[in-house]
Structure 1
Amino acid sequence: MERLLLNANRNGYAPDQCGRTMTVGGLVAFLEDFEPETPVYLCHDGGYTYGAIREEDFEGAEE
């Protein structure tokens, strides 16, 4: 089965230090090219460690 790896980057100590990022719409459009059952993992440290993504890992935040 195909997997989708998201290389996690550290760009700053606050969101405003990170530069350009994808929007929800851009992310949804990108993911439409994959089969719905494709598992998604975070890839850290150049593939040295990995992490799962779960609904409870998301939280909204005000600017």
Structure 2
Amino acid sequence: MAMVIYASREGYGIDQVKSTMTVGELIEYMQENFPEDEKIYIAHDNGYTYGGIRWNIIDSMADPDPDDEDYEEEE
């Protein structure tokens, strides 16, 4: 068994993503549904290709600032 996250492309920047889970929500979901030693894979292209999660691919980035004059929220 494996945990597979099916990734979808929603935009060219994080400001174009309509919604996403918080770290807390993801942790809670994973703890409720998967054993601690379950492997995690990321599916791309509707499951045509796959990748793994490693420490060197996780990073942080600033959230879009809705008070910034260049910020445009999509409806």
TM-score, reference length from structure 1: 0.92
Q: How many residues align?
A: 62
**Partner residue in 2 for 1:48:** 48
Structure-to-structure mapping, 1:1-63, within 5 angstroms: 2-33=1-32, 34-63=34-63
Taking only the aligned residue pairs, the percentage that are identical comes to 37
The list of structure 1 runs, each at least 4 consecutive aligned residues, that deviate by more than 6 angstroms after superposition, is: none
Structure 2: gaps spanning 5 or more residues? 64-75
TM-score when normalising by structure 2: 0.78
Deviations 1:19-38 (A, max 9, x none): 11000000000010210110
Q: CA deviation digits over 1:4-53, x for unaligned, max 9?
A: 10001100111010111000000000010210110000001111100000
The aligned amino acid for 2:10 is: N
SS of residue in 2 equivalent to 1:11: coil
